[in-house]
Amino acid sequence: MANLRDSLRRVLFDVGALPYAVLTAQPTWRTHGGDLAEHVELQPGGHVLDLGCGPGESAFGMIDRVPGARVTGLDISSSMIRFARVRQRFERHKDRLAFIEGDAMALDFPDATFDAVTGHSFLYLVPDAERVLAEVFRVLKPGGRCAFLEPAGLPGSSIPREIAGQALREPRFVTSMALWRIVSRGYGRFDEARFAGSFRRAGLDLVRVQTTLAGMGVFGVGRRPENRADFG
């Protein structure tokens, strides 16, 4: 049954890869992806794993932001990875990017590989977020940070006026926010309590929770403790 669910999940993301790539290839999405690098305090020369990287917009934003940093983007969808690799060819810093297909619930990396782990609109979609966070703990170096930008539990059903007012100037951004709101109603949203509990059960310390996108989104930032080499 689990294998069937995984297969259906891959098919769903493969089918949605093209429209998702079109919607997210816009400056605002790239900027918020770049913000993840600041939340994890990514340093020049640091190596970050970007989970659920999709067509690569967040990875590109982080490379823009931190000189000399490296980003490995991972996604379960082969179509998403193909789009990311095509776009990589046109990036100025393409040599510092790598995109691979893989499952965030069973990462194929040794322990303590990465300086940081990030995810943009990813954690709320996976069937077992805490299993993912346990893997995040494992592949993070002691003291390394993780940051996830997820949909927040904003009251009401409409998108904020501050976002809706950008429709003529940035139609793809506003459309992506409207769809984010709709999809997250079914998959679930994040707040401080959910981040705190999920991080704690994975062995991660909660650093902070910060709202963004006029309250539609929330950054959850965690840290692997320096003195905790194992968790389980």
pLDDT in tens, 69-123: 999 999 999 999 999 999 999 999 999 999 999 999 999 999 999 999 999 999 9
Phi-psi region of 73 (alpha: psi -120 to 50; beta: other; left: phi over 0): beta
SS (H, E, C) 165-194: CCCCCCHHHHHHHHHHHHHHHHHCCECHHH
Report, as an integer, the average pLDDT of 153-167.
78
List the domain boundaries for the chain.
2-223
Question: What token pair was written down for 53?
Answer: 């990287």
Does domain 2-223 sit in CATH 3.30.930.10? no
Q: Convert the pLDDT of each residue in 21-51 to its tens digit.
A: 777 778 888 888 899 999 999 999 999 999 9
Residues contacting residue 175 through CB under 8 Å, at least 6 positions apart: 23
Biggest CA pair distance of the chain: 51
Cα gap 107→115, rounded to integer Å: 15
